[in-house]
């Protein structure tokens, strides 16, 4: 398949696929006489893997690790678990941060009964140090 088809099949822009190839995240494709890239089902599987990992919030570096791990079938699962656990912890931290943010923004919204910015509690609270 050509890059456009692979792009459509995976919901990835062609430019992103080329970028992955440049970065060594995806193996280089075969070339036709026209010099067009020619992808196999293996590439489709690999790109699906990469995109899914990225959607799950793994960094490019982590994706590289996951790819390396997935190529060593005889290795223990533990290494993969570690990465997933790490990512889970990170996501939970972000959720906690965002919950705190949401609360603060909500309080700001409720706090201001003024209608001129001169007395606006929101503007006022931006100028104060956070207690967080």
Partner DNA sequence: CTTGACCTTGTAGTTGCTACAAGGTGCATA
Partner DNA sequence: TATGCACCTTGTAGCAACTACAAGGTCAAG
**Residues of the shown chain interacting with its own copies in the complex, contacts defined by CB under 8 A:** 45, 48-49, 52-53, 55-57, 66, 69-70, 72-81, 84-85, 87-88, 91-92, 94-95, 98-99, 101-102, 104-106, 108-109, 112, 114-118, 120, 122-123, 125-130, 132
Is residue 4 near DNA by the rule CB under 7 A? Answer: yes
Q: Which is nearer to DNA, 14 or 44 (CB)?
A: 14
Is residue 65 near DNA by the rule CB under 7 A? Answer: no
Give the span between the Cα atoms of 97 and 69, in whole angstroms.
31
Q: Which is nearer to its own copies, 35 or 42 (CB)?
A: 42
130 binds, among its own copies, Zn ion, DNA, none (CB under 5 to 8 A by kind): its own copies
Give the span between the Cα atoms of 23 and 17, in whole angstroms.
10
Give me the sign of the Cα torsion angle 75, 76, 82, 83. Answer: positive
Q: For 127, list phi and psi in degrees, rounded to 5.
A: -80, -10
Compute CA distances 118 → 48, 112, 113, 129, whole Å. Answer: 53, 11, 12, 19
């Amino acid at each position: 398949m050509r890059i456009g088809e692979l792009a459509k099949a995976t919901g990835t822009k062609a430019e992103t696929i080329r970028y992955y190839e440049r970065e060594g995240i995806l193996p280089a494709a075969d070339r036709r006489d026209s010099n067009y890239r020619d992808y196999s089902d293996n590439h489709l599987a690999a790109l699906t893997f990469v995109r899914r990992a990225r959607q799950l919030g793994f960094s490019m570096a982590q994706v590289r690790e996951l790819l390396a791990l997935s190529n060593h079938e005889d290795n223990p699962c533990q290494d993969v678990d570690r990465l997933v656990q790490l990512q889970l912890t990170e996501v939970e931290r972000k959720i906690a941060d965002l919950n705190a943010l949401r609360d603060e923004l909500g309080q700001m919204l409720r706090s201001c009964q003024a209608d001129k910015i001169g007395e606006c509690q929101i503007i006022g609270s931006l100028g104060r140090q956070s207690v967080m």
